[in-house]
Amino acid sequence: MIDALLAPFAPLVEFGFMRRALVASLALSIAAPPLGVFLMMRGMSLIGDAMSHAILPGIALGFLFAGFSLPMMSLGGILSGLVVAGLAGSVSQMTGHREDAAMASFFLISLAAGVLIVSLGGNSVDLTHVLFGSILAVDTTALLLIASISSLTLLGLALMFRALVVECLDPLFLRGQGVRGGLVHGLFLALVVLNLTAGFQTLGTLMAVGLMMLPATAARFWSSRLEGLILIAILVAACSSVAGLLLSYHLDLPSGPCIILVSGGIYLLSALFGRRHSLWRRLRRRASPLAARYGEATLSRRTKDPGP
């Protein structure tokens, strides 16, 4: 009985490539979602998307000069991500335009540059690999890289947590205390870039952001507390990783899209049935607005006993 229940999970243990894929995606699931929660809470949900394009030219350059070498491609990705984030930040600061406009412009430039560079040195298979990743090809080097980036992210987040929270709520307060808000913001964006680079090997540059944002947006329907949001987001990401990998194994589908689609499914379910602000909640409130406010028990007592 138990064997039969566990049987679908067997491939995760049985095969080396599945074990490595599992560890890699779980490591990503711990580090990326907290960043996603902060991005979402600061109204920067699409910045992650923009940054994921920004790392592409660097990865492509690494690929052009060193071939299919993960450390070189990752280094290139991190560098170009940081450069684009810095450029977008300084352009918006100099011109006074909103940062997202500068970001949008730069990510389009990077996307075009990246695709051009990849096509200079490779073929469409290489391009597909860079854009969409292949988690089943994760080797020990990649695993080490992902694990160290995840650890670094957790450490970095722990160190800057309070500053980040204060900055999200009231940047002026932090500035008044002599902390440069730009510094906190920049460090945070650097962590985002690091994580997207870690995710590119497994999920590809375009989908790496999925494991960051989807768990965070799904968590929004379950908790109103920061700690709750972060924990739920990590949980959602981990579950989607395991489920996505198994789905891809049993149904013979590409693993990256499977993982992201599972977390996408969890997001949709949360939007429909979540505890907070979900469609179901809203319908129920509309059906009996007083019950939602006073609690069902009070209301039924009131209707039964209209009082003197």
- Binding status of residue 14 toward other proteins by CB under 8 A: no
Between the alpha carbon of residue 249 and those of residues 17, 143, 205, 259, 301, the distances in Å are 11, 20, 22, 11, 55
For other proteins, the binding residue among 12, 91, 166, 187 (CB under 8 A) is 166
Interface of this chain with other proteins, residues 216 to 245, rule: CB under 8 A: 223-226, 229
- Contact status, residue 54 vs residue 106, Cβ threshold 8 Å: yes
- Shortest Å distance, C-beta 304 to other proteins: 30
Q: How far apart are CA 217 and CA 229, in angstroms?
A: 9
Which range in 23-31, 60-68, 167-175, 191-199 contacts other proteins by CB under 8 A? 167-175
For other proteins, the binding residue among 10, 108, 169, 279 (CB under 8 A) is 169
For other proteins, the binding residue among 12, 104, 160, 243 (CB under 8 A) is 160
Q: How far apart are CA 297 and CA 301, in angstroms?
A: 6
H or E element at residue 197: helix 181-203
- Binding status of residue 293 toward other proteins by CB under 8 A: no
- Shortest Å distance, C-beta 46 to other proteins: 17
In the complex with other proteins, the residue whose CB is nearer, 41 or 113, is 41
Q: How far apart are CA 67 and CA 64, in angstroms?
A: 6
For other proteins, the binding residue among 98, 175, 250, 293 (CB under 8 A) is 175
In the complex with other proteins, the residue whose CB is nearer, 176 or 308, is 176
- Shortest Å distance, C-beta 59 to other proteins: 33
What b/e string do you get for 230-267 counting C-beta neighbours within 10 Å, with b at 16 or more?
A: bbbbbbbbbebbbbbbbbbbeeeeebbbbbbbbbbebb
Interface of this chain with other proteins, residues 34 to 93, rule: CB under 8 A: 41-43
- Binding status of residue 159 toward other proteins by CB under 8 A: yes
Alpha-carbon 286 to chain mean position: 33
Q: How far apart are CA 134 and CA 213, in angstroms?
A: 20
- Contact status, residue 167 vs residue 181, Cβ threshold 8 Å: yes
By CB under 8 A, name the binding residues for other proteins. 41-43, 159-163, 165-166, 168-170, 172-179, 223-226, 229
